[in-house]
Structure 1
Amino acid sequence: MATQLADRGERQGSGRRAGWWALVFLALAQFMVVLDGTIVNLALPRLQHEMGISDATRSWVVTAYALAFGAFLLLGGRIADFWGRKRTFVVAAAGFAIASLLGGIAQQPWELIGARALQGIFAALLAPAALALLTVAFPGGKDRGTAFAIFGSITGVGAAVGVLLGGYLTEHVTWRWCFFVNVPIAIVALAGVWSLVSESKAHGSAKYDWPGVILAALGLGSLVYGFTNAERGWDVPQAWGFIAAGIVLLTVFVLVERRAKHPLLPLRVATERNRGAAFLASFLAGAVLIGGILFINLYIQIVLGFAPFLAGLASLPMTVVLIITAGLVAKNLPKLGAKIPTGVGPVFMAAAMLWLTQVSAQGSYLVNMLPALLLLGIGLGMVFVPMQNLALFGVDRDDSGVASALVNASQQTGGSLGIALFSTIAAAATAGGVSPAALSAGYAAVFLWAAGFAILIAPIALVLINIDRHKFTGTDGDAPAVHLG
């Protein structure tokens, strides 16, 4: 009997060690996915010059990744569940490495943008597979909470490292290493998961909603392409035509999802008022974060003249404040509930963007940038934590994967549309000028619109969120919240 207990204890200890090692490699993959959302930002001015990319096309280097990531994330979650999470992870990691290699050796703008889109597609497979494998590796207990907290913190760390690493590689090596750096990371993550993690699949019918996939991808792509073409004027057919087509396609998508037996997006997930508030807030926050930060980096480099690595350091205060604020909000969420931080955070975000509207050719980092970056970090930290919790609150177990994918897809989609719209606004405000004064005027117009996007989150939170804070945090014993990290 004693020998059996000892053997069982040894097996449990071995299983725990394998789980923690699995976390290392799964977190490494998540780090790579987040890293690529920001690593190219500070390389944009230099790669644009070297490859002869126009201002209109420049935004697609960032947009292609965010758009493909957001458009295929729901499908990626379904494929991971039914095809096999480990198998999906291995294929996605290998594909991400190949796409990164193609981006690094690209000689033409279309090759670079295509590689970015391919990265986004494989990221849409990799991210949900990694999260699902983490759930399997840590099925419950205190270890699960710790593992998810570590995994969740990778998002902030990856975004910060992406900015710094992108700036350093662009300045001291070459912007092409912003792509090449993913290859060894992907290989190490793939090898670790291959050797340590067991395969797992979801039960049930493995049927995919291909009409929904096609309609969602074409609809979102049409919207982004239309907003990008609006840079030449809102009356050109390539602008209003594609925007109208995108709206029609997404409307048809909703109608198809209502009738589909195995919908890509079960509408019950998105239409519950509290979760709906989370998805809308994620969409708007993505536009402000991904779209707004792009133009902050452009102002710091092009107008203020910061070298890429120094520009990365200049952006760091926002990330540090965001991580600190998110930690404080998470700790006090049982006292605050969801409505207060989600309603107050957008005020800080809007204030930051309004501060940035004062940028000028004679501006300075300490006066024009630093206060806004600190305010923006506070606001985003207050919004992200309750938003992620709301997205999974009260959701059926069978829909948890879709709900977690949808909150990320909303953010990426908002970011891609934000970049397209803000690029058009900047072009209209500069009226073709390339002087620091003209560029500053364009960036100021962008920041004003970003402030409008940010403040819209507040009424959404105040009107739609109606969960009692005790129920939201599970302190009344009913329907505890599910935390992403």
Structure 2
Amino acid sequence: MTTLAPVSNTATASDRGSGATLAVLLGAYMLIALDATVVSVALPALQRQMHFSATALSWVPNAYALTFGGLLLLGSRVGDVLGRRRAFSAGVALFTIASLLGGLAPNAGLLLAARAVQGVGAALSTPNVLALIAVNFDEGPARNRALSFYSAGAGLGGSLGMLLGGALTSWLSWRWALLINVPVGVVVALAAPRVIREPERQPGRFDVAGAITGTLGSTVLVYGVLRASDRGWTDALALATLTAAALLLISFLAVELKARQPLLPLEFLRDRGRIGAYLNMFLIPAGMFPTFFLLTLYFQEVLGYSALRTGLGFLPMTLVLFTTVRLMPRVLARVNLRAVLVTGAALVVLGGVWLTRLSEHGGYPAQLLGPLVLIGLGGGMSFMPMSALVLRGVTPARSGAAAGLLQTLQWTGGTVGTAVLVSLFSNTSRHGTGSAAHRLVQGIDAAFVLGTAVAAAAVLVATLVIRDRKA
């Protein structure tokens, strides 16, 4: 049983582990996950109204991804030192203010700046969601139930983002894809001090050298991947940026080996099960997250779906994923953890293989319903057990760092995977043959082949690295 540090705050002991606590934490996490996709469906309308060039338009999602992915590790350490609830609330408030400014932005420059600030707020709040779950819910059934909802957050938020973005863009304006965050963010920020239990702050100083090298390394890596996706993997600046990122991340590890209070405690990497969970928390999102972008193109450009109907097309995956993660605590009480993780990753592979067979003449029931159900089922069987495995046995003093690394790998994996697969899609469709729809499908099929290979690597990790059988 994890020993909880004494606290002093407005939340009483009866609030601990309550539904209100979980609702506030998941409300914030859903906002972050939703914002990763809600703007995507609105991009064509946004480009027309704001007069974005094609290159500038790509930075509407990229500005958010860059600051979010680059600052996650730092955000977790801020929570450790200054207080996780305080960091969480500040991140939600910053995200909400940036959403308001973005929704009201009169020009492209201010919109991109607001998206970057949204990423900063997300990086400050997101790792502290998982850390606060670790503190507010005892290890065991209570925490597993909370993690089951948390693990559905990314997939559920992403799918609802597509649906909500399509509806708001079709019925109102692209601006509401950002403004919808404001009322939810205000409620979460005001409720957090009342219902979330704050652990005692961890005394000490910031690991300045680790923060600089880790933050720069993560940010430069994300920028390099985004640049390569946009300009090609032979682009000189992209290659130079990726090389610099590798050197910075190596420097970060060297610094952490010597730091007295490291940003990333390297003892996390001495546990074989935790290493496997971290690896798969990068690989599975890298294979799964590009599905949203690729199938959005297929829905709208090949099948002729509207933005709203596109969002509805992802609904089966969302429902299956949510149902599966809710059942995971009961499953883990009866089935060994490694078997669950191997099966989950294998189902994602099967769904990916099915999607490599898309054609321009196919329909939704025959070509899309089955693989979306398989991917939702596989994702639901993967994310909650991996989160539980990472947090098991972690003391409150280390929960922020453990959660920060988990979130960094999850969202960086999704960003890198999307960038690489979209680059492959673009190159393949550009050099394809036949009609425009046929070339587009050729590119999508090629991207899913690579995405399936990434998911297959997760099967190997779950099989060969994770030996832990405890639930």
Instruction: Mark yes or no: TM-score above 0.5.
Output: yes
- Corresponding residue of 1:208: 206
Structure 2 partner of 1:9: none
Equivalence for 1:83: 82
2:381 aligns with 382
Structure 2 residue aligned with 1:442 = 443
Question: Which structure 2 residue ranges, 5 or more long, are not aligned?
Answer: 1-10
Corresponding residue for residue 350 of structure 2: 351
Matching residue of 1:32? 31
SS at match of 1:42: coil
Residue 6 of structure 1: aligned partner? none
Q: In 2, Cα distance between the equivalents of 1:24 and 1:328?
A: 19
Paired residues of 2:148 and 2:326 also in contact (CA < 8 A): no
In the alignment, is residue 456 of structure 1 matched against residue 457 of structure 2?
yes
Distance 1:232 1:68, change over 3 A: closer
Shift of 1:268: 1.5
**1:69-107 deviation line (CA, Å, top 9, x unaligned):** 333222222212321234323322221112112322345
Describe how 1:96-245 pairs up with structure 2 within 5 A: 96-133=95-132, 154-195=153-194, 200-205=199-204, 207-230=205-228, 231-245=230-244
Bigger drift between 23-32 and 398-407 goes to 23-32
Contact 1:79 1:88 survives alignment (8 Å):
yes
Q: 1:221 to 1:330 in 2, by over 3 A?
A: same
Alpha-carbon contact 1:290-1:418 (below 8 Å) kept: yes
Cα deviation, residue 431, structure 1: 2.1
Measured in 1, the distance between the counterparts of 2:310 and 2:172 equals 16
* Aligned counterpart, 2:3: none
Distance 1:452 1:187, change over 3 A: same
Look up the match of 1:478.
Answer: none
The one-character-per-residue Cα deviations of 1:398-417 (angstroms, maximum 9, x if unpaired) are 32221122222211010111
> Which amino acid is 2:160 matched to?
V
CA shift, 1:365, in A, is: 1.9
Specify the alignment match of 1:267 in structure 2. Answer: 266
CA 1:393–1:428: 2 relative to 1, 3 Å = same
Are the structure 2 counterparts of residues 333 and 242 from structure 1 closer, same or farther at C-alpha, using a change threshold of 3 Å?
Answer: same
**Cα distance between partner residues in 2 of 1:303 and 1:295:** 11
Q: Tell me, yes or no, if the aligned pair for 1:86 and 1:129 is still in contact at 8 Å.
A: yes
Compared CA separation, residues 229 and 126, structure 1 to 2 (3 A): closer
The number of residues matched between the two structures is: 458
Structure 1 residues 65 and 321: CA distance shift in structure 2, 3 A: same
Contact kept, 8 Å, 1:56 with 1:228, in 2: the verdict is no
TM-score of the two chains, using structure 1 as the length reference: 0.85
Cα distance 1:327–1:188, how it changes in 2: closer, same or farther (>3 A)?
Answer: closer
Aligned equivalents of 2:25, 2:180: Cα separation in 1: 17
**Offset of 1:109 from its aligned partner?**
4.7
State the structure with more CA Rg.
1
* 1:24 positional shift: 3.7
Equivalent residues of 1:227, 1:424 under 8 A apart = no
- Per-residue displacement from partner, 1:42-72 (whole Å, max 9, x unpaired)? 2234334444545555554334434433332
CA gap 1:133/1:322 in 2 versus in 1, 3 angstroms: closer
Letter aligned with residue 263 of structure 1: P
CA deviation profile, 1:303-351 (whole Å, cap 9, x unmatched): 2221111111100101111122223343221332222122222222122
Distance 1:440 1:141 in 2: 46
For residues 272 and 158 of structure 2, what CA distance do their matches in structure 1 show?
Answer: 30
State how far apart, in whole Å, the 2-side matches of 1:246 and 1:199 are.
Answer: 35
Could you tell me how far 1:20 is from its partner in structure 2?
A: 4.7
1:243–1:168 distance in 2 versus 1, CA, 3 Å: same
Residue 56 of structure 1 contacts residue 423 of structure 1 at CA under 8 Å; is this kept in 2? Answer: no
Report the equivalent of 1:328.
327
Q: 2:203, 2:386 → 1: CA distance? A: 30
Is the Cα contact below 8 Å between 1:94 and 1:190 reproduced in 2? yes
Alpha-carbon separation, structure 2, partners of 1:349 and 1:20? 31
Contact 1:427 1:442 in 2 (8 A): yes
Structure-2 separation of matches of 1:142 and 1:238: 49
Distance 1:51 1:421, change over 3 A: farther
> For 1:403-482, what aligned pairs fall within 5 Å after superposition?
403-431=402-430, 435-467=436-468, 469=469, 472-473=470-471
Higher mean Cα deviation, 408-417 or 162-171? 162-171
Q: Note if contact 1:292-1:446 (Cα within 8 Å) is conserved in structure 2.
A: no
The code of the aligned residue for 1:346 comes to: A
Amino acid at match of 2:447: V
RMSD of aligned alpha carbons: 3.0
CA deviation after TM superposition for structure 1 residue 181, in Å? 0.8
Instruction: Note if contact 1:67-1:412 (Cα within 8 Å) is conserved in structure 2.
Output: no
Distance 2:140 2:270 in 1: 31
- Cα distance in 1 for partners of 2:238, 2:303 equals 32
| 1:346–1:379 contact (8 Å) kept in structure 2 | yes
- Given that 2:148 and 2:384 are in contact with CA atoms closer than 8 Å, whether structure 1 keeps it comes out as no
Contact map agreement 1:41 1:297 (CA 8 A) in 2: no
Give the distance between the partners of 1:14 and 1:253, measured in 2 at CA.
Answer: 40
Structure 1 residue 213 displacement after superposition = 2.4
Aligned match of 2:245: 246
Unaligned ranges ≥5, structure 1: 1-12, 474-485
Deviation at 1:169, TM superposition (A): 0.6
Identify the residue that residue 366 of structure 1 maps to in structure 2: 365
Q: 1:271 to 1:62 in 2, by over 3 A?
A: farther
1:339 is aligned with what amino acid? R
Which deviates more, 421-430 or 41-50?
A: 41-50
SS at match of 2:360: coil
Q: Deviations over 1:371-405 (max 9, x none)?
A: 21111112212221221122123435532221122
Range with greater deviation from structure 2 (344-353 or 226-235): 226-235
Please name the residue that 2:4 is paired with.
none
SS at match of 1:336: coil
Provide the secondary structure at the position in 2 that maps to 1:265: coil
Deviations 1:6-61 (A, max 9, x none): xxxxxxx9753695544443332233222223322322343344445455555543
Secondary structure in structure 1 of the residue aligned to 2:263:
coil
Structure 1 residue 189 displacement after superposition: 1.4
TM-score normalised to structure 2 length: 0.87
Q: Could you say what secondary structure the match of 2:267 adopts?
A: helix
Tell me if the contact between 1:273 and 1:465 (Cα under 8 Å) persists in the aligned partners: yes
Q: Distance in 2 between matches of 1:413 and 1:322?
A: 21
Deviations 1:405-453 (A, max 9, x none): 2222211010111122122212211227893222222222211111111
Secondary structure of 2:373's aligned partner = helix
Letter in 1 for 2:441: S
Distance 1:145 1:458 in 2: 23
User: Any conservation in 1 of the 2:349–2:455 contact (CA below 8 Å)?
Assistant: yes
Query: In terms of mean alpha carbon deviation, does 126-135 or 140-149 score higher?
Result: 140-149
